[in-house]
Chain A
Amino acid sequence: MRKLLIANRGEIAVRIIRTARAMGIATVVVCSEADRDSLAARSADEAVVVGPPPAPASYLNQQAILDAARVTGADAVHPGYGFLSENADFAKRVIGSGLTWVGPDPDAIRLMGDKAAALQAARGAGVPVLAGSDGPLPSDADGDDALAVARGIGFPLVIKAAAGGGGRGIRLAREEAEFAGTLGLARSEAKSSFGDDTVYLERFVDRARHVEVQILGDGSRFVHLGDRDCTMQRRSQKIIEEAPAPLLPDAVRDRIRDSSVALARACGYSGVGTVEFLYDPAREEVAFIEMNTRLQVEHPVTEMITGLDLVAEQLRIADGEPLGWTQDDIMLTGHAFECRINAEDPARGFFPSPGQITKLTWPEGPGIRVDTGFEQGSVVTPFYDSMIAKLVVHAPARDEAIELMATALSQLTVEGIATTAGLQQTLFGSPELARVEHYTTFIETAPGILEVTT
């Protein structure tokens, strides 16, 4: 690999350039017209404008990106995260053009992109999945048969229309007494909404945490790089992540780590990947959500506790080098947190806040890392993701890492746009985060959290 084209923007493009440069690999960044003066475009050895600001015309424009690779003589493509990173067709086209694809095989991307197939693969590899009716409830199973299945799963549970999706066609049965009535209701709703009264049952987790395992493989050897917790979310989007996942029983931690490696092995995985789980602290149970076949936004917390450079690992594996580690080589040291600093106003329902950053000061010091694609004077455009930076800290223990993040956030200045930093400051002072009593909908439902940050 001599010249790497980066099909992304912002902090992750800057991040990839940093490692590529250290490895002696030249870099090409593709950018939209809105990003031609961005830090990423200026940091790369070459920048190619591939289209107008809207992503479909630029960062998702496969032909323009492949043309840019040809024109600049790039021999590899790193997709970053988002955009085309989990697009199996694009991966195929990159490989078909004679270029190195920095990512897993297109077949692995496709498999994990298909919810039902991914779940089946996970189950086959011994990954724990959500307790449920294991397929549709038979249509004649209404009285006692259905109740027997429901009892096997346990209450509360959800009744989901097989033809539903996107949050539609879901009914909650909190206890056994309301099950029969709710099932009848769910069936008639499913019939009238989707023309199909097929339903299935699934365990309902009231106050779930989100945990995940970082895996690394070269197609024949596989390791995990520990776990992360990404429970603190707004609108189902992560805003604080940490590694390792706190307060996880040893049996649960071993189970998710081992089964994630087994899943990677089962699909001959190559590169970095993340297996995501729902964790029910009340029952101490985990269940597979999905596998992400790319570098994750929150990879820095894993880098902090392992001392590895995940982008370097990706580039070496893509270049055909064997994995340089066995599981015994992987040491996890200390505790790391990451805050995604987003250009959003928590007081206005996290409404996006584009505009010019008139003043910007990043915190500095031992154990503090900032990954960003923005500088003072940069304009945050309305076209892309709202994340402007990742603030990462590393300390020997979790409580020290919390304290360091609180200090780092207090030293951060961003003026000209609204950001989530004030909310994150509140959260790092909250007893719930300190005691790991938060859950994925904590920010929306905990009284007062959003008010005090305005």
Chain B
Amino acid sequence: MTQIVSPLPGVFYTKPGPDKDPFVLPGDRVEAGQAIGMVEVMKQFTEIRSDVSGTVVSVDVAEGDTVMPGDVLAVIDED
């Protein structure tokens, strides 16, 4: 299992926009480099990417919740 952690403090978003589909859902297949969410810091958005390829086990932070550096955002079951 690989944890994807937030490198930044800010607000986490599971979707690229309010009316968009989530970046990933549990059970989805992800490739290394693929975005799993976004963190907003002072009005700037940074995409958070998976370091590994595999299957999404969980997305651990809800839409719009506050995150701190090191917080686990998602867990990936690596290939």
Contact = CB atoms under 8 A, between A and B. Distances in A.
Contacts of A384: 42-43
A186 interface: no
Contacts of A53: 11, 66
A352 B41 contact: yes
A243 to B, nearest CB: 26
B44 A352 contact: yes
A378 to B, nearest CB: 15
B37 interface: no
Interface in A57-83: 57
Interface residues of B, number: 11
B64 to A, nearest CB: 6
Contacts of A382: 8-11, 40-42
Interface string B10-37: 1100000000000000000000000000
Contacts of B9: 354, 381-382
A385 interface: yes
Contacts of B42: 343-344, 352, 354, 382-386
Contact of B41 (A52, A57, A354): A354
A263 B49 CA distance: 48
A54 B43 CA distance: 11
B19 to A, nearest CB: 15
A451 B8 CA distance: 24
Contacts of B11: 53-54, 382-383
B66 A54 contact: yes
Of A53, A56, A57, A383, the most chain B CB neighbours within 10 A belong to: A383
Contacts, number: 35
A454 B41 CA distance: 22
A412 B17 CA distance: 39
Contacts of A52: 66
B62 to A, nearest CB: 12
Given A354-B9, A382-B10, A383-B11, A56 B43 contact: no
Nearest to A352: B42
A385 B42 CA distance: 5
A354 B44 CA distance: 12
Nearest to B9: A382
Contacts of A343: 42
A386 B43 CA distance: 8
Nearest to B46: A351
A56 B64 contact: yes
A54 B41 CA distance: 11
Nearest to A33: B66
Interface of B: 8-11, 40-44, 64, 66
30 contacts: A52-B66, A53-B11, A53-B66, A54-B11, A54-B64, A56-B64, A344-B42, A351-B44, A352-B41, A352-B42, A352-B44, A354-B41, A381-B9, A382-B8, A382-B9, A382-B10, A382-B11, A382-B40, A382-B41, A382-B42, A383-B10, A383-B11, A383-B42, A383-B66, A384-B42, A384-B43, A385-B42, A385-B43, A386-B42, A386-B43
Q: Which 5 pairs of residues, A with B, have the shortest CB-CB distance? A: A352-B42, A386-B42, A382-B9, A382-B10, A382-B41
